Each structure stands twice: as C-alpha cells, then as structure tokens.
C-alpha cells in the first residue's frame, strides 16, 4: 500500500533526535535503525571515517495519524552540507516502479538536484527538488524475503 513520509536530515544527531521523538510519541521504530557502516562497500567511494560509521543511515518512526517520520545523518565526508531548506524531504512510497517514474517525471520537470529513480540495494529510489524548491524522494521498497 502506498504511503507518504516526511524525511528529515540531521547534522550527526539523528539518533538522539529520534530517541527523543520515540519518547514524545510513545512509539517504536518501524524497522531496525540502519547505520552508515551497514551499507554495502562501494569501491567508487572513499571509505567512511571511523567517527561516521555509527551515524544513522536510516531510521523510521510512526508519529500521529498514520504519518511516519524518517531520517538520516548528512555526512560532510560524503559531500553533504546541512542548511535550513535541505533538512526535510517529502518521501513518496508508491506501489510500483512505474508510478515512481511517473511522479518523478512530473515533479522534477523544471526542477533541480534530480537523481532519476533507479535500483539500490534496498529498493527503487530517486529524488529531486521541484521548481518550487520542495524536495521529493521516491522509494519503492524491495519485497521482504
């Protein structure tokens, strides 16, 4: 079933923030917290500094009314720089790759910072900033084994 989430970016304190939110909303993470060290090796990228290996790659927490917030730590070693305006994204999780492609096509038109949806180790993923300056993410998860 398709759903929408709000994706938040943090400057290294996503775990602290989400433990606080977990207490505030009285809920539990909807999946295990993933750390940067959990990513498969990428020979095209430099190795992560030791201090960044335990930073949050992905965390998700249900809050109110069926809404889920998700987050990651932005790492300067990966070329990320957190500034107000890029610290949130509306994350769309459609049911199919075709629906993700159509949403991407329409939302990225005239926009910037676009990465067309493509296969990743967790599913089919892409992102863009639309012509109004809003960041969107497209994510079709791989079926659970």
Place of tokens 């290294």: 12
Confidence (pTM)? 0.70
Q: Give the domain ranges of the chain.
A: 3-39+52-141
- pLDDT, residue 97, reads 96
* Beta strands 68-73; 3-10: pairing state: parallel
Domain 3-39+52-141 bears CATH identifier 3.10.180.10: yes
pLDDT of 85 strictly over 80? no
Q: pLDDT tens digit string along 99-127?
A: 999 999 988 999 988 999 999 988 999 99
CB 67 within 8 A of CB 75: no
How far is Cα 78 from Cα 94, in angstroms, rounded to an integer?
28
DSSP state letter for 123? E
């Amino acid at each position: 079933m398709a759903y929408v989430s709000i994706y938040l970016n943090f400057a290294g304190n996503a775990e602290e923030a989400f433990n606080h939110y977990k207490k505030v909303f009285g809920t539990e993470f909807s999946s295990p917290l993933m750390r940067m060290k959990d990513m498969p090796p990428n020979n095209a990228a430099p190795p992560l500094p030791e201090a960044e290996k335990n930073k949050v790659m992905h965390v998700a927490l249900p809050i109110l009314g069926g809404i889920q917030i998700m987050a990651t730590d932005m790492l300067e070693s990966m070329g990320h720089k957190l500034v107000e305006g890029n610290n949130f994204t509306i994350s769309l999780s459609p049911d199919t790759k075709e629906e993700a492609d159509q949403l991407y096509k329409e939302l990225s038109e005239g926009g910037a910072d676009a990465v067309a949806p493509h296969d990743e180790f967790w599913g089919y993923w892409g992102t863009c900033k639309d012509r109004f300056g809003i960041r969107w993410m497209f994510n079709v998860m791989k079926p659970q084994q």
